Amino acid sequence: MKAWVVRSLGGIEALSLEAVPDPPAPGPGEATVRMVAVGLNFPDLLMLEGRYQYRPPLPFVPGMEGVGRVEAVGEGVSADLLGQRLLVGARAGLMAQRVTLPLSALRPAPDTLSDAEAAAFTVGALTAWVGLVERGRLAAGERLLVLGAGGGMGLMAVALGAALGAEVWAVASSLAKLALAEAAGAQATWRVDRQAPDLGPLAGQFDLVFDPVGGPLVAPAIAALRPGGRYLVIGFAGGPPVPLGVDQIQARFLEVIGVRAGEAGRRDPAAGRRHLAAIDRLAAEGRLRPAVGLTLPFVQAPEAFRAMARGELCGKAVIWCDTD
């Protein structure tokens, strides 16, 4: 089979499409899945350079989420799973045509989602849920500001915030991204320059900020909060972490809240299962679905990463895996 392999931390150019051995036969409590599609995420891009919190040992195969069909099952696993379409999750390893994983890494794909949507669903939806609901305590009627609202993560936060009854404002760098945010449920939008973002007119107006961007947006985003507001640290797509103005945080009674949805589930597996059940239920009801802005064949995976790195991608990138 084929897989994308990283043998050195050299960024996108270090990706190597290789013929690799098939995965091992499934053992007790495991299944082998033929991957149909993989959704790409910003942490995947960071892992190529060794800049993410989790650093898989070299060599490794990237890929955190996807969708596939079960080809084989191990001892104690029902044969009824054979042929079923399942969502697949892992810390890495999914940019391969086949994978063998424990059943805890697999769950039914909602029928409401296409294969491309299913591949791109979990990471964004789970982070939005843990951020907005579990950590951010978002309540109906509150005003939510979503940064990076044209990317996969931000769009899921927009959609979930709208589903929860918040007044959602979307911030992004292009009109095309803001149009997607409006389609996802944003009631208002704000366009910013990526290098010198200005949220001045929005100062002091928001109860909660969802920030997967960081970088130069941090200071204006904190200024956009009302006294007592909450700031969710989601990620750093806009650059390395920057210092926070702790004097302003103290003076205005602000909360700065870190969010790592996958880590939350690893620390508390029962809570992790509840979070996944919640987002799957919303997807099954048609209230939560990802925006897929780019789909490419397996052999063109580096180009999808390049689009992500350039910041021009609207929504999520998905790679089709069923190419021999």
Q: Which residues contact 51 (CB under 8 A, 6 or more apart)?
A: none
Domains of the chain from N-terminus onward: 2-121+290-320 (3.90.180.10), 123-262 (3.40.50.720)
Q: What's the predicted TM-score (pTM) here?
A: 0.93
pLDDT digits (tens, 9 = 90+) for 308-322: 998 888 999 999 997
Within its chain, how far is the Cα of 258 from the centroid?
15
pLDDT for position 323: 53
Cα–Cα distance for residue pair 138/165, rounded to 1 Å: 9
Work out the percent of the chain whose per-residue pLDDT is above 70: 99
Nearest to 294 by CA among 40, 29, 16: 40
Q: Give the tokens for residue 81.
A: 């799973």
Nearest to 276 by CA among 126, 106, 65: 126
DSSP 139-172: -TT-EEEESSTTBHHHHHHHHHHHHTT-EEEEEE
Beta bridge partners of 286: none
Q: Low-confidence residues of the chain, pLDDT below 70?
A: 323-324
Within its chain, how far is the Cα of 184 from the centroid?
16
Pair 234, 41: CB distance under 8 Å: no
Q: Secondary structure of the chain in the HEC alphabet?
A: CEEEEECCCCHHHHEEEEECCCCCCCCCCEEEEEEEEEEECHHHHHHCCCCCCCCCCCCECCCCEEEEEEEEECCCCCHHHCCCEEEEECCCCCCECEEEEEHHHEEECCCCCCHHHHHCCHHHHHHHHHHHHHHCCCCCCCEEEECCCCEHHHHHHHHHHHHCCCEEEEEECCHHHHHHHHHHCCCEEEECCCCCCCCHHHCCCEEEEEECCCHHHHHHHHHCEEEEEEEEECCCCCCCCCCCCHHHHHHCCCEEEECCHHHHHHHCHHHHHHHHHHHHHHHHCCCCCCCEEEEEEHHHHHHHHHHHHHCCCCEEEEEECCCC
Tell me how far CA of residue 31 lies from CA of 73, 138, 254, in angstroms.
4, 37, 46
Cα–Cα distance for residue pair 98/284, rounded to 1 Å: 26
Q: Give the tokens for residue 141.
A: 């009627």
Q: How many CB atoms lie within 10 A of CB 34?
A: 17
pLDDT for position 289: 92
pLDDT for position 241: 74
pLDDT digits (tens, 9 = 90+) for 231-288: 999 988 877 777 887 888 888 999 999 999 988 999 999 999 999 999 999 999 999 9
